[in-house]
Amino acid sequence: MAWRSKRDMTREQQWAQGPLDMPFLMLTILLMTIGLLMLLSASSYAAGMEEVSNYDPAYYFKHQLSFAIAGTIIMYLVSRFDYQHLRWMSVPLLIVSIFMLIIVLLPIPLISVVRNNARRWLNLIFVQFQPSEIAKIAVVVFFSASLSKRPLTQLKAQKYAEKFPKRKPGQTNGTYLKDVYRWFSAKTGFGELIPYILVLGLIAFLLLLEPHMSGTLLIFAAAAAILFASGVHVGWFVAGGLGVALLFFLLVVVGGYNSSRLDVWQDPWSDPQDKGYQIIQSIYAVASGGLNGRGFGLSRQKYLYLPEEQNDFIFAIVCEELGFIGATLIIALFMMLILRGYYLALHARDRFGSLMVVGVTTLLAVQVFMNIAVVTNLIPATGISLPFFSYGGTALIIQMAEMGLILSVSRQIPGPKHD
Per cent of the chain over pLDDT 90 is 52
- Going from the C-alpha of 329 to that of each of 274, 298, 325, 334, 336, the distances in angstroms are 33, 19, 6, 9, 10
Report d(CA 171, CA 226) in Å as an integer: 40
Mean pLDDT along residues 353-382? 94
Structure confidence at residue 107 (pLDDT): 82
Which of 3-7, 231-235, 376-380 is most confident?
376-380
pLDDT band at 401 (very low <50, low <70, confident <90, very high): very high
pLDDT band at 1 (very low <50, low <70, confident <90, very high): very low
Mean pLDDT along residues 240-263? 69
Asked whether the beta carbons of 78 and 404 are under 8 A apart, the reply is yes
Structure confidence at residue 268 (pLDDT): 87
pLDDT band at 12 (very low <50, low <70, confident <90, very high): low
pLDDT of 176 > 50? The answer is: yes
pLDDT of 136 > 90? The answer is: yes
- The tally of CA atoms less than 13 A away on the side-chain side of residue 210 is 28
pLDDT of 158 > 60? The answer is: no
pLDDT of 124 > 60? The answer is: yes
pLDDT band at 145 (very low <50, low <70, confident <90, very high): very high
Q: Which residue has the higher pLDDT, 148 or 318?
A: 318
Q: What's the whole-number average pLDDT of the chain?
A: 84
pLDDT band at 257 (very low <50, low <70, confident <90, very high): low
Structure confidence at residue 155 (pLDDT): 45
Asked whether the beta carbons of 347 and 38 are under 8 A apart, the reply is no
Structure confidence at residue 173 (pLDDT): 61
Structure confidence at residue 226 (pLDDT): 94
- Going from the C-alpha of 207 to that of each of 121, 279, 312, the distances in angstroms are 12, 25, 19
Structure confidence at residue 10 (pLDDT): 54
pLDDT band at 77 (very low <50, low <70, confident <90, very high): very high
SS3 assignment for the chain: CCCCCHHHCCHHHHHHCCCCCHHHHHHHHHHHHHHHHHHHHHHHHHHHHCCCCCCCCCHHHHHHHHHHHHHHHHHHHHHCCCHHHHHHHHHHHHHHHHHHHHHCCCCCCCCEEEECCEEEEEEECCEEECHHHHHHHHHHHHHHHHHCCHHHHHHHHHHHHCCCCCCCCCCCHHHHHHHHHHHHHHHHCHHHHHHHHHHHHHHHHHHHHCCCHHHHHHHHHHHHHHHHHCCCCHHHHHHHHHHHHHHHHHHHHHCCCCHHHHHHHHCHHHCCCCCCHHHHHHHHHHHHCCCCCCCCCCCCCCCCCCCCCCCCCHHHHHHHHHHHHHHHHHHHHHHHHHHHHHHHHHCCCCHHHHHHHHHHHHHHHHHHHHHHHHHCCCCCCCCCCCCCCCCCHHHHHHHHHHHHHHHHHHHCCCCHHHC
pLDDT of 418 > 50? The answer is: no
pLDDT of 205 > 60? The answer is: yes
pLDDT band at 179 (very low <50, low <70, confident <90, very high): low
Mean pLDDT along residues 106-126? 77
pLDDT of 127 > 60? The answer is: yes
Mean pLDDT along residues 156-160? 50
- Judged by average pLDDT, the poorest of 7-16, 23-32, 384-393 is 7-16
Structure confidence at residue 417 (pLDDT): 42
390 phi-psi bin (left φ>0, alpha ψ -120 to 50, beta other): beta
Mean pLDDT along residues 248-257? 63
Q: What is the pTM of this model?
A: 0.86
